[in-house]
């Protein structure tokens, strides 16, 4: 049997009951047998400062990205864009330019929001950021959940059956793309 495909999932919210952390948990639960999901949070990542030596938390994030076959970024939409928490971590991990762990890395994006488009505008910006780093961006449909208040519980767990089924199918599709 061949080795499982390794997918790193990075939620871009630090909130205790974050729905994006909930999406990452659901991805770990619903992944097909041949997809190994690891979730890495961003709480320990300091503000980007080029005067700092690369902090340990950043080194370990970069190592996790390098070790993964693919990365799935879960970003809240803040003011039609990516969350600052996620953008800050990406900026750290994006150095050195065009030789960073994101360069040519297979990346996909997902989001949820209380609004009707499920964070689509934020994901457009996130795709642009990934393109700026030379990442290999999943060309299929991105995974989004609109009206999150109806589909997650108060702890941020994804409870909606239809969304869970869609996520399971999506994970199978991105695993195939990563392996191709
Ligand atoms: C938001 N939210 C939001 N939603 C949206 O659909 N479009 C938007 O432009 C914004 N803007 C925005 C800005 C700021 C500063 C906050 C705090 C929130 C709602 C936001 O998408 C929602 O809080 C996240 O989906 C929650 O994610 P977590 O923390 O549950 O992972």
Q: Which of 76, 111, 121 to mutate to test the pocket of ligand 1 (most atoms within 8 A of CB)?
A: 76
Question: Which of 21, 29, 71, 67 is CA-nearest to residue 174?
Answer: 71
pTM of the model: 0.98
The answer to whether the beta carbons of residues 70 and 34 sit under 8 Å apart is no
How far, in Å, from the CA of 83 to the mean position of ligand 1? Answer: 8
Reported as a single tens digit per residue, the pLDDT across 117-166 is 999 999 999 999 999 999 999 999 999 999 999 999 999 999 999 999 99
Reported as a single tens digit per residue, the pLDDT across 79-113 is 999 999 999 999 999 999 999 999 999 999 999 99
| pLDDT score for 2 | 81
For residue 36, which phi and psi values (nearest 5 degrees)?
-100, 115
Dig out the tokens for 142 from the structure.
């991105």
pLDDT surpassing 90 at residue 1? no
Biggest CA-to-CA distance, the chain: 47
| pLDDT score for 74 | 98
Residue spans of beta strands (DSSP E) within the chain: 5-11, 35-39, 70-74, 77-78, 81-82, 106-112, 136-137, 143-145
Q: Which of 77, 110, 111, 112 to mutate to test the pocket of ligand 1 (most atoms within 8 A of CB)?
A: 77
Mean pLDDT along residues 10-25? 98
Residue 27, CB-side half-sphere exposure with 13 Å CA sphere: 34
Percent residues over pLDDT 70 in the chain: 99
């Amino acid at each position: 049997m061949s080795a499982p495909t390794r997918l790193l999932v990075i939620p871009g919210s630090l909130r205790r009951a974050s729905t994006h952390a909930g999406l990452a948990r659901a991805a770990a639960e619903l992944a097909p047998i041949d997809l190994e999901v690891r979730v890495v949070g961003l709480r320990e990542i300091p503000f980007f400062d080029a005067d700092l030596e690369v902090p340990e938390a950043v080194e370990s994030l970069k190592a996790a990205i390098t070790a993964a076959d693919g990365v799935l970024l879960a970003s809240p939409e803040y003011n039609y864009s990516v969350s600052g928490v996620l953008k800050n971590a990406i900026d750290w991990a994006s150095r050195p330019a065009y030789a960073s762990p994101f360069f040519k890395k297979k990346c996909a994006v997902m989001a949820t929001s209380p609004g009707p488009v499920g964070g689509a505008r934020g994901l457009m910006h996130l795709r642009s950021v990934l393109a700026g780093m030379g990442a290999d961006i999943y060309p299929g449909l991105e995974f989004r959940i609109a009206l999150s208040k109806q589909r997650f519980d108060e702890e941020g767990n994804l409870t909606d059956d239809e969304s869970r089924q869609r996520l399971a199918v999506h994970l199978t599709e991105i695993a195939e793309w990563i392996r191709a």
